[in-house]
Amino acid sequence: METLRGVSLASKLPRLERQMLWQHVLQVPRSWLIAHDTDPLSSETVARFRALEAQRLAGAPMAYILGRREFMGHDFDVSPAVLIPRPETELLVETALASLKAHKAPRVLDLGTGSGAIAISLALECPHATVVATDLSPDALAVARQNAARLGARVEFFSGSWYDALSGHKFFDLIVSNPPYISACDSHLQEGDLRFEPVTALTDGADGLSALRTIAQGAGQWLTPQGELYMEHGWDQAQVVQDLLRSSGFTQIASLPDLAGIDRVTGGIYN
């Protein structure tokens, strides 16, 4: 009979990833794995582990294999239809939450919501906010709706390209977005997890600025006076996003650094 210890020792995966896969296959806490590492395993269990291990060795992201990723303290379902929520995007949510403090019943818009991580985190932290989220991809919206339902968040979802999804909607106090901002010729698109993520969530297929530009230029028509816009962007895009916001009618423009010290979120006030 095979055991956890035996199968694990023979595995080429790092220990943490092995443990995550075992926890997923056996549906047990990590402590269980340590206490039971010499228990005999059924051949079906070993086969299930080996199938997931093979996916991981072929490069599939852990988040897609497990179908889950933690973000802002909540577990989000993820599938290859959505971008995997990233720690640096918590900066966008925290920036939005700080700005929402000034409002009693704010209206918030998340453009290109993907898994819904941003919109749902905002709705859970700010139950008095009306949160609207859009995505071009119906498959992504299905994941986002499922997350909102499971986590108990009140978010209205609309399908369409950026503001086109919103026809007939009212004004917003705050717009947030983590749009595709990677340049089509950036070699990172061919590396690591990015190879498996939806390409339209990563890049605009051009210089990486077209979605940021569309969102900045269109925001004025959808914001209340003094409404705010915050966008996540690439490591070298802060200055150009600031310029875009300035030429789109924003003031008090600022960029904020992520945990790695890289300017990652830029926003301002519309007036």
Residue appearing with tokens 């009140």: 154
Determine, following the binding rule CB under 6 A, whether residue 180 of this chain makes contact with ligand GLN.
yes
Question: How far apart, in whole angstroms, are the C-alpha atoms of residue 140 and residue 123?
Answer: 18
| Residue 215 C-beta: closest distance to ligand GLN, Å | 12
Q: Shortest CA distance to 140 belongs to which of 215, 181, 204, 199? A: 199
Q: Which stretch binds ligand GLN (CB under 6 A): 23-31, 57-65, 72-80, 177-185?
A: 177-185
Q: Shortest CA distance to 186 belongs to which of 202, 170, 174, 210? A: 202
Determine, following the binding rule CB under 6 A, whether residue 181 of this chain makes contact with ligand GLN.
yes
Quick one: which H or E segment has residue 100?
A: helix 89-100
Under DSSP, is residue 79 helix (H, G, I), strand (E, B) or coil?
coil
| Residue 194 C-beta: closest distance to ligand GLN, Å | 6
DSSP 3-state helix, strand, coil percentages of the chain (rounded to 5)?
Answer: 45, 25, 35
Total residues contacting ligand GLN by CB under 6 A comes to 9
| Residue 188 C-beta: closest distance to ligand GLN, Å | 7
| Residue 184 C-beta: closest distance to ligand GLN, Å | 12
* Residue 53 or 258 with smaller CB distance to ligand GLN: 258
* Residue 114 or 218 with smaller CB distance to ligand GLN: 114
Determine, following the binding rule CB under 6 A, whether residue 213 of this chain makes contact with ligand GLN.
no
Q: Are strands 172-177 and 107-111 parallel, antiparallel or unpaired?
A: parallel
Question: How far apart, in whole angstroms, are the C-alpha atoms of residue 3 and residue 52?
Answer: 17
Query: Mutual orientation of helices 238-247 and 210-219 as an angle, nearest 10°?
Result: 30
| Residue 236 C-beta: closest distance to ligand GLN, Å | 11
Among 121, 147, 178, 242, the residue binding ligand GLN under the rule CB under 6 A is 178
* Footprint of ligand GLN on 70-89 (CB under 6 A): 83, 86
Give DSSP secondary structure letters for 28-47: --HHHHHHTTTSEE-HHHHH
Determine, following the binding rule CB under 6 A, whether residue 215 of this chain makes contact with ligand GLN.
no
| Residue 206 C-beta: closest distance to ligand GLN, Å | 13
* Footprint of ligand GLN on 22-61 (CB under 6 A): none
Among 111, 153, 202, 215, the residue binding ligand GLN under the rule CB under 6 A is 202
Interface residues with ligand GLN (CB under 6 A) are 83, 86, 178-182, 194, 202
